Amino acid sequence: MQTALSVRNLYKVYNPKRASKTIAVDHISFDSHFGEILGILGPNGSGKTSTIKSIASIIEYEEGEIQVLGMDNRKKRKKVIRHIGAVLEGSRNIYWTMSPVENMVYFAGLKGMSRKDVKERMERYLHLLDLEPVAHKQVRSFSKGMQQKVAIACALISDPKIVLLDEPTLGLDVETSRKMQAFIKEIAKEQRHIMITSHDMRFIEKTCSRVLIMKKGRLIADDSVENLNHVFKKQVFKLTVKDHPRDALLDELRGQCEFRMEHHDENTDLFLILNDSQTLYALFDILRRYKSTLLGVDIIKDDLEDIFLKLVNGDGAVPGEGGKDS
């Protein structure tokens, strides 16, 4: 596949001259390609947004090199930004007193295009993103999810080769998020490169062909979703218990295994990552001692969310992948 982006030893620090300086991106390196949908996962403060802003030439970085379509994004900044469409930090890149159509015409104009130049694409995005009924209404009256869709349409209106989406599902309901997943896959077929940061791990798993996982500014994983699932293949059990477990019970569980929780109105699902099924019996004993009512036990397929939890809570990188960012 043809290389779209090449990042080498990217280093970004905030307040570099102060004792309290913050290293946002710590010498990471990776390549990405046309036709690829690349996801970036990481907890808050891991460096995801700083990485995307550095690629988009929105912020300066202290060290390293970023090649966009073979061009240095510092030396050829004006040329580079013509090929990049970005949605950063929600829907902040749109004007709320203007309509979706007016926003798209305005952002196309910034790239030297007229309304006539983008008429066909504008109609297409209004249709694909279900914006036709509100095409001429002011964006400030829209829901968060609708504003997000307008921001994505504005990022795409100039037909960029590189699309950077920071939390594209922010504010979207489940149905709209699924439509967004299909939409992103569709536009990726048009010989583009799509990069997505998200806290929605299910969305990343179902949308992206490859994922980077960041922790404290460094890459701790860079691989396909399929390979990550294979490397970290564990037994994952879902225990459904009545009510919400007490803190003391959770502390004991943490001493036995890694897990995550999903709270519901009257019960809680505990997703436990186990090396062997024998540990499960020790967990049953803990639940019994705390008089926690067990409603169900299921064995489930490991998924990206459990992999993510294991990586960000651990000290190591994916075997064979840890040296990519050094």
Percentage with pLDDT > 70 across the chain:
88
CA neighbor of 43 nearest in space, from 286, 214, 278:
214
The whole-angstrom separation of Cα 162 and Cα 7 is: 14
Lowest-confidence segment of 104-113, 158-167, 255-264, 311-320 by average pLDDT: 311-320
Q: Which residues on neighbouring strands pair with residue 263, listed in sequence order?
A: 268
CA neighbor of 258 nearest in space, from 311, 319, 316, 321:
311
Helix (H, G, I), strand (E, B) or coil at 268: strand
What is the pTM for the complete model shown?
Answer: 0.72
The whole-angstrom separation of Cα 280 and Cα 134 is: 53
Residue type, 49: T
The whole-angstrom separation of Cα 29 and Cα 153 is: 30
pLDDT band at 44 (very low <50, low <70, confident <90, very high): confident
Q: Count Cβ atoms within 10 A of the Cβ of residue 269 and give its class: 0-12 exposed, 13-18 middle, 19 or more buried.
A: middle
The whole-angstrom separation of Cα 207 and Cα 191 is: 16
Place of tokens 């570099």: 16
Tokens linked to 77: 């900044």
pLDDT band at 163 (very low <50, low <70, confident <90, very high): very high
Residue 26 scores a pLDDT above 70: yes
Residue 318 scores a pLDDT above 50: no
Residue 316 scores a pLDDT above 50: no
pLDDT band at 302 (very low <50, low <70, confident <90, very high): low
What is the pLDDT averaged over residues 5-26? 91
Q: Specify whether the CB–CB gap between 39 and 208 falls below 8 A.
A: yes
CB atoms within 10 A of CB 154: 25
The whole-angstrom separation of Cα 101 and Cα 115 is: 9
Residue 301 scores a pLDDT above 70: no
Place of tokens 């130049």: 117
- What's the pLDDT score for residue 135? 96
Say which DSSP state 101 is in. Answer: H
Q: Specify whether the CB–CB gap between 108 and 115 falls below 8 A.
A: yes
- What's the pLDDT score for residue 314? 63
Cα dihedral 121, 83, 103, 94 in deg (nearest 10): 140
Tokens linked to 229: 């699932």
pLDDT band at 20 (very low <50, low <70, confident <90, very high): confident
What is the pLDDT averaged over residues 221-233? 74
Q: What is the pLDDT of residues 173-203, one digit of tens each?
A: 778 888 888 888 888 888 889 999 887 777 8
- What's the pLDDT score for residue 2? 86
Residue 320 scores a pLDDT above 60: no
Q: What is the pLDDT of residues 131-158, one digit of tens each?
A: 999 999 999 999 888 898 899 999 999 9
The whole-angstrom separation of Cα 315 and Cα 326 is: 16
- What's the pLDDT score for residue 18? 83
The whole-angstrom separation of Cα 131 and Cα 101 is: 9
What is the pLDDT averaged over residues 33-61? 91
**What domains are defined for the chain?**
3-229 (3.40.50.300), 234-301 (3.30.70.980)
- What's the pLDDT score for residue 168? 84
Average pLDDT of the chain? 86
Q: Specify whether the CB–CB gap between 9 and 65 falls below 8 A.
A: yes
Residue 126 scores a pLDDT above 50: yes
Residue 153 — φ and ψ, nearest 5°?
Answer: -60, -40
